[in-house]
């Protein structure tokens, strides 16, 4: 079975093992270096932002790396709080992310300039996870606790008004926008430990299941070429990447290693995916990989002894 890292679960929700939060932890991001081709942030590149922790530094920070490889650039330096679940704005100028620490002193969705500074909390997002920026850059979708479960919300980027979209006894997690901004896909996890990919139309709140009940489907991502990638724990006992069309047809698997593949994110052109690949034990590192949508061209992107998670490819 797919493991939980002890930092974030298969569904992407924080597991809340962190150090005490302090005022000093509000230090903002450092500038993303603009370098030569192959460096994170190269002008002609679409860098990938992700969360990283190591055994020596068990609190997550955000990093960026070029899709062509190179050395990751550390974006946040918050030694006593965790920064996770990054999401690029559609213009590539800001990143939304979840920042959390013990005692609730620092907890919720924030945004920052990718060049550093201008850190802003999104009001009303205490306890929220899985931020996803809308294609027009005006709204943000996220999952937020309601009683014992999480529901999907959408708000303007300033946090108001927050509209609750789902009302179920299940956990609704990891929203992702359709290219036209009319729909969200997300995964719905029931009390039995199953999860399926769902689609909701924002104008009517009509919902459609895209994958079957009894599945173990997590972390969908909707491409500009109108395909949805997600991670499924299948009959092999490992998590593999799958694709499905927005109407639920065309389901097929694109990875098959005896390792766990999770948190897929599409390239801007919809031809490739970045994802996290890890082993079956917490001691195993987790690295970022790239793969074409047809399952070919597998490339390892990060190689250090670290846990590299929740990557998002800049639009």
pLDDT in tens, 241-280: 999 999 999 999 999 999 999 999 999 999 999 999 997 6
Q: Which parts of the chain register pLDDT below 50?
A: 1-44
Q: Return the bridge partners of 197, or none.
A: 187
The pLDDT of residue 116: 67
Q: What is the CATH number of domain 23-313?
A: 2.120.10.30
The pLDDT of residue 220: 98
Does pTM top 0.85 for this prediction?
Answer: yes
In a 3-state reduction of DSSP, which class is residue 235?
Answer: coil
What is the Cα–Cα distance from 211 to 313, expressed in whole angstroms? Answer: 25
Cβ contacts of 56 within 8 Å, gap of 6 or more: none
The pLDDT of residue 105: 63
What is the Cα–Cα distance from 268 to 256, expressed in whole angstroms? Answer: 24
What is the Cα–Cα distance from 124 to 122, expressed in whole angstroms? Answer: 7
Place of tokens 């927005």: 246
The pLDDT of residue 281: 67
The pLDDT of residue 282: 66
In degrees and rounded to multiples of 5, residue 100 shows phi and psi of -145, 155
What is the Cα–Cα distance from 71 to 305, expressed in whole angstroms? Answer: 14
The pLDDT of residue 69: 93
For 4-29, write each residue's pLDDT tens digit.
333 444 444 333 322 223 223 333 33
Contact 229, 272 (CB under 8 A): no
């Amino acid at each position: 079975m797919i493991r939980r890292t002890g930092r974030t679960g298969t569904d992407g929700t924080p597991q809340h093992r962190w150090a005490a939060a302090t005022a000093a932890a509000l230090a903002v991001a450092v500038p993303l270096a603009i370098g030569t081709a192959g460096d994170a942030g190269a002008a002609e590149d679409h860098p990938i932002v992700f969360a990283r922790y190591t055994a020596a530094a068990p609190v997550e920070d955000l990093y960026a790396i070029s899709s062509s490889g190179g050395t990751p650039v550390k974006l946040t330096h918050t030694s006593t709080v965790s920064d996770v679940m990054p999401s690029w704005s559609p213009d590539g100028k800001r990143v939304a992310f979840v920042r959390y620490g013990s005692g609730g002193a620092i907890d919720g969705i924030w945004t920052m300039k990718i060049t550093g500074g201008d850190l802003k909390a999104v009001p009303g997002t205490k306890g929220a996870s899985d931020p996803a920026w809308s294609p027009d850059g005006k709204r943000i979708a996220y999952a937020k606790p309601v009683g014992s479960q999480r529901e999907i919300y959408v708000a303007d980027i300033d946090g108001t008004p927050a509209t609750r979209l789902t009302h179920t006894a299940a956990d609704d997690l990891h929203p992702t926008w359709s290219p036209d901004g009319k729909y969200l896909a997300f995964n719905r996890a029931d009390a039995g430990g199953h999860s399926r990919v769902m689609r909701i139309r924002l104008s009517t709140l009509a919902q459609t299941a895209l994958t079957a009940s009894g599945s173990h489907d997590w972390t969908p991502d909707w491409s500009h070429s109108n395909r949805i990638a997600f991670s499924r724990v299948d009959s092999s006992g490992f998590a593999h990447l799958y694709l499905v069309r927005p109407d639920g047809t065309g389901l097929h698997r694109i990875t098959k290693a005896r390792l766990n593949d999770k948190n897929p994110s599409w390239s801007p052109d919809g031809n490739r995916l970045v994802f996290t690949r890890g082993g079956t034990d917490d001691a195993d590192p987790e690295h970022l990989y790239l793969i074409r949508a047809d399952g070919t061209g597998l490339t390892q992107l990060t190689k250090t002894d670290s846990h590299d998670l929740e990557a998002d490819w800049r639009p």
